[in-house]
C-alpha cells in the first residue's frame, strides 16, 4: 500500500514558485512592452506639443515673407534680411539654430547656410509628409545629406517641418524646416522617461504582488487540504488494516468455536460411552444372569447389582446434563449469575468461594451472561482440580464500558476423582475462544505466590443488543 507520509508529494510552495517564475517572466515582458510603448507615446506627445507651439510661432513670422515662392524658386534679398534680423536679435533666435525653406520639388529656397540655397535634394519622408499638409517633428534625427552643418553643432536638436501656405487660397507653397535647440527638451524627456518607467514598474509590481498573494494563499490552502487528505488516507488505511485484523480475529474465533463444539461433542460421546453406556451394559448382563439363576438368593443378588448399576448410570447422566445445560439466567442480574455459579461450585466440591462485586448491578445481554457463567464455572473447576479450591475468589466489576471478571486461586494441591476428571471442562484454550468470539479479551497468568489468575473483559458493544 502506498505511503502518503514520506514527503514525496508536491511541496507547499511549488505552485507559488512556479507562478513566481512563469508569471514573473510574463509580467516582466509585459512591463517592458508597456513601458516602452507608454514612454514612446509620452515622448512623442511632448515632442509634438513643443513642435506645434514653435511651428505656430515661426509660421506667423516666416509665412508672410515666403509668399513670393508662388512664382520664384528662391527668396529675394528682402525676405532673407528680415528672417536674419528676426533670428539674430530675439529670444526665438537663441532657440532656433537653423532654418531652411523648401520648394515642393526638393529645392532649397532659403537656408542660413548660403551654400545650400538653390540646391535640390531628394525629398525625405518628413518633407513629403509636410508637403501633404502635416506638421512633422523629429528629435535629434540628423542623418540626411543636408544636415551636415546641424550635426556639427553637437547639441540635441528638434527638427520641425511646417507647411507654408498661400495667404488667401491656403495652397502649400513649400515647407519651412527649422531646428530648435532641444537641450532643455532632452532633459524633460529623460525625466519623463524615468517617471514613466517607474510608474509602470510600480504598477506591474503591485499587480504581480497581488496575484502572487492570491496564488500563494491558494497554494497554502491546497497544501493544507493535501496534508488533510493524506492524513485521511493514512487513517483509512489504518482502519482498513484494523478491519482486516478484526475480520481475521473473527474468522479465527469462529474456527475456535467450531473446534470447541466439536471437542464438546467428543467429550459428551466419551462420557456417555465410558459412563452410562458401560453401566447400562453391565446391568443388562447381570439381568441376564438373574433370569438364568434358579436360586432365589442368587437371583436377588443379581437384581440388586442391576439396580445399583442403573442408579449409577442415572447419576452419571444427571451429572452430564448439569454440565451441559445452563440454569435459567435470563431474569438474573450479573451479580446473581456469578453467585449462582459460585453456590453450585460450593455444593459440588465442598470448597469456599469469595465473591466481590462493584458497580451498578443489572441485567446484561444473554450472550454476555452465558459467557460470564461459563467463564466463572470453568475457571473455578480448574481452581478445584489443580489447586484443591485453595483461596478461590471471584472479583467482578460493572462499569460504563463493559464487564470485568477476575477469578483467582492460591497455590495448593488436589487429587480429583475419576468422575471429576471426566466432568472437567474444555480448558483455557476453549474458554479463550469463547470469549474472543464475542469480541472480548481473555488473559491467564501465574501469580508470584504460585497461584493462578484468569481475567475476562467484555464490552457492552459485544454480544448483541441488551
Q: What is the pLDDT of residue 15?
A: 75
Q: Are 211 and 18 in contact (CB under 8 A)?
A: no
Q: What is the pLDDT of residue 405?
A: 94
Q: Is 433 exposed, middle or buried (0-12, 13-18, 19+ CB in 10 A)?
A: buried
Q: Would you state the cell numbers that stand for residue 235, as one nine-digit string?
A: 487513517
- Global pTM reads 0.42
Check which CATH number belongs to the domain holding 183 and give it: 3.30.450.20
User: Does any domain span residue 237?
Assistant: no
Domain ends where: 194, 211, 229? 194
Query: Of 388, 411, 409, 402, whose CA–CA distance to 454 is shortest?
Result: 409
User: Does any domain span residue 396?
Assistant: yes
User: Does any domain span residue 227?
Assistant: no
User: Does any domain span residue 238?
Assistant: no
Q: Are 213 and 135 in contact (CB under 8 A)?
A: no
E strands, 389-451, are 393-398, 402-409, 441-446
Q: What is the pLDDT of residue 142?
A: 55
Domain ends where: 194, 221, 239? 194
How many other CB atoms are found less than 10 A from the CB of residue 33?
A: 11
User: Does any domain span residue 399?
Assistant: yes
Domain ends where: 194, 213, 243? 194
Q: Coil, helix or strand for 173? A: strand
Q: Mean pLDDT of successive 10-residue segments in the chain (466 residues)?
A: 45 70 83 83 76 72 78 81 74 72 85 82 84 79 53 68 81 83 74 84 87 83 88 92 86 73 73 72 75 78 79 74 66 89 86 91 85 88 87 91 91 53 58 81 88 90 48
Query: Of 319, 387, 325, whose CA–CA distance to 352 is shortest?
Result: 387
Sheet holding 402-409, edge to edge: 354-359, 393-398, 402-409, 452-459, 441-446
Q: What is the pLDDT of residue 396?
A: 94
Q: What is the DSSP string of 188-207?
A: HHHHHHHHHHHHHHHHHHHH
User: Does any domain span residue 228?
Assistant: no
Domain extent for 188: 14-194
Is residue 40 located within the same domain as residue 188? yes
The rounded Cα 292 to chain-centroid distance in angstroms is 95
Tell me the sheet residues that pair with 446.
Answer: 452
Q: What is the pLDDT of residue 141?
A: 55
Measure Cα distances from 151 to 120, 139, 140, 142, 147 in Å. Answer: 19, 13, 9, 6, 6
Query: Of 254, 267, 256, 258, whose CA–CA distance to 428 is shortest?
Result: 256
| Letter string b/e over residues 130-163, b meaning 16 or more CB atoms within 10 A of that residue's CB | bbeeebbbbbeebebebbebbeeeeebbbbbbbb
Measure Cα distances from 177 to 31, 119, 124, 129 in Å. Answer: 37, 15, 12, 12
Measure Cα distances from 378 to 188, 262, 341, 374, 425 in Å. Answer: 108, 18, 10, 6, 6
Q: What is the pLDDT of residue 319?
A: 67
User: Does any domain span residue 312?
Assistant: no
For the chain, how many structural domains are there in total? 2
Check which CATH number belongs to the domain holding 366 and give it: 3.30.565.10
Rounded to whole angstroms, how far apart are CA atoms 125 and 131? 10
Q: What is the pLDDT of residue 209?
A: 85
CA dihedral sign, ordered 297, 299, 305, 308: negative
User: Does any domain span residue 296?
Assistant: no
Amino acid at each position: 500500500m502506498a505511503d502518503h507520509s514520506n514527503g514525496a508529494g508536491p511541496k507547499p510552495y511549488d505552485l507559488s514558485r512556479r507562478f513566481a517564475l512563469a508569471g514573473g517572466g510574463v509580467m516582466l515582458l509585459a512591463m517592458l512592452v508597456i513601458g516602452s510603448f507608454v514612454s514612446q507615446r509620452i515622448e512623442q506627445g511632448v515632442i509634438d506639443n513643443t513642435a506645434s507651439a514653435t511651428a505656430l510661432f515661426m509660421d506667423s513670422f516666416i509665412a508672410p515673407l515666403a509668399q513670393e515662392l508662388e512664382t520664384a524658386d528662391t527668396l529675394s534679398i528682402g525676405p532673407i534680411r528680415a528672417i536674419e534680423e528676426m533670428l539674430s536679435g530675439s529670444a526665438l533666435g537663441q532657440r532656433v539654430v537653423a532654418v531652411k525653406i523648401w520648394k515642393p520639388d526638393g529645392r532649397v529656397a532659403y537656408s542660413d547656410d548660403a551654400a545650400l540655397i538653390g540646391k535640390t535634394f531628394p525629398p525625405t519622408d518628413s518633407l513629403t509628409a509636410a508637403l501633404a499638409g502635416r506638421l512633422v517633428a523629429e528629435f535629434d534625427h540628423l542623418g540626411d545629406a543636408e544636415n551636415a552643418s546641424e550635426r556639427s553643432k553637437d547639441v540635441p536638436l528638434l527638427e520641425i517641418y511646417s507647411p507654408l501656405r498661400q495667404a488667401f487660397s491656403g495652397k502649400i507653397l513649400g515647407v519651412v524646416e527649422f531646428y530648435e535647440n532641444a537641450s532643455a527638451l532632452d532633459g524633460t524627456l529623460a525625466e519623463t522617461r524615468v517617471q514613466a518607467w517607474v510608474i509602470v514598474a510600480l504598477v506591474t509590481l503591485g499587480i504581480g504582488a497581488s496575484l502572487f498573494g492570491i496564488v500563494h494563499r491558494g497554494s497554502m490552502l491546497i497544501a493544507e487540504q493535501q496534508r488533510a487528505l493524506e492524513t485521511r488516507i493514512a487513517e483509512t488505511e489504518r482502519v482498513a488494516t484494523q478491519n482486516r485484523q478484526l475480520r481475521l480475529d473473527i474468522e479465527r474465533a469462529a474456527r475456535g468455536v467450531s473446534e470447541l463444539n466439536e471437542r464438546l461433542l467428543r467429550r459428551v460421546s466419551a462420557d456417555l460411552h465410558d459412563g452410562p453406556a458401560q453401566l447400562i451394559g453391565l446391568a443388562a448382563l447381570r439381568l441376564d444372569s438373574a433370569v438364568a439363576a434358579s436360586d432365589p438368593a442368587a437371583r436377588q443378588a443379581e437384581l440388586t447389582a442391576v439396580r445399583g448399576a442403573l442408579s449409577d448410570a442415572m447419576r452419571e447422566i444427571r451429572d452430564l446434563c448439569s454440565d451441559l445445560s445452563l440454569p435459567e439466567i435470563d431474569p438474573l442480574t450479573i451479580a446473581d449469575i456469578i453467585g449462582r455459579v459460585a453456590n453450585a461450585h460450593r455444593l459440588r466440591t465442598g470448597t469456599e468461594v469469595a465473591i466481590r462485586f462493584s458497580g451498578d448491578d443489572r441485567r446484561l445481554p444473554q450472550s454476555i451472561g452465558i459467557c460470564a457463567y461459563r467463564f466463572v464455572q470453568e475457571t473455578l473447576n480448574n481452581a478445584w482440580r489443580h489447586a484443591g479450591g485453595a483461596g478461590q475468589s471471584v472479583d467482578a466489576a460493572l462499569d460504563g464500558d463493559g464487564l470485568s471478571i477476575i477469578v483467582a486461586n492460591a497455590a495448593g494441591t488436589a487429587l480429583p476423582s475419576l468422575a471429576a476428571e471426566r466432568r472437567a471442562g474444555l480448558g483455557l484454550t476453549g474458554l479463550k475462544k469463547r470469549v474472543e468470539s464475542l469480541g472480548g479479551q481473555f488473559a491467564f497468568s501465574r501469580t508470584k505466590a504460585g497461584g493462578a489468575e484468569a481475567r475476562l473483559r467484555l464490552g457492552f458493544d459485544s454480544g448483541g443488543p441488551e
